[in-house]
Amino acid sequence: MLSITSQYALRALSHLAARSDESVLGRDLAKSVEIPANYLSKVLLTLRRAGLVVTARGSGGGYRLGKPADGIFLIDVVKVFEDYSRTKPRCFLGSTRTCSETTPCNAHSAWKNLQAAYLQFLVSTPLSAISGERDNFWTSSGQRDELHSEPERFPQLGE
């Protein structure tokens, strides 16, 4: 339902949210969230222009969230990259004409309830809800990020 650019933006922002106490270098962020570095740099530039990330140069520099993760809602990110907002839901079939109750597309009646739930999810879910814990970041492949995970602990005898 989301473009790859929106998915990348949400992955990058959720990673930054989990590391809110530090700046993250672009190359480290790209590697951690499995996004091509060149593509990510363009996404981050757009997010910076939207005020969702800030940058710092020099030692200790990198990317950080532009505001607290609980103040950034998923819709705030999605609307930066897609023609979708709280007041302008999208036609399921991608019709260029207005899709509404009065001028529905062929999928409108089947899509409208799901679309309302989807829009409610985007509007009501803060970035903090999807950022996870600092050391509990999952990559797109579904594997734990080995750069930031703790070593596996095996039970000792008598435990």
Alpha helices in the chain (DSSP H): 4-18, 26-33, 37-49, 74-81, 108-124, 128-131
Write down the pLDDT at residue 86: 63
Confidence band for 110, pLDDT divided at 50, 70 and 90? confident
Mean pLDDT across 22-40: 94
* Amino acid at residue number 48: R
Report if residue 79 sits inside a domain. Answer: yes
Q: What is the mean pLDDT of the chain?
A: 81
8: domain CATH number is 1.10.10.10
Distance of CA 67 to the CA centre of its chain: 14
- Count of the separate structural domains present in the chain: 1
Write down the pLDDT at residue 80: 94
Write down the pLDDT at residue 4: 95
Report if residue 148 sits inside a domain. Answer: no
Residues sharing a CB contact under 8 Å with residue 133, sequence separation 6 or more, in sequence order = 18
Say if residue 142's pLDDT is above 50: no
Report if residue 149 sits inside a domain. Answer: no
Report if residue 31 sits inside a domain. Answer: yes
Report if residue 68 sits inside a domain. Answer: yes
Q: Which domain holds residue 104?
A: 4-131
pTM, two decimals, is: 0.76
Report if residue 137 sits inside a domain. Answer: no
Report if residue 21 sits inside a domain. Answer: yes
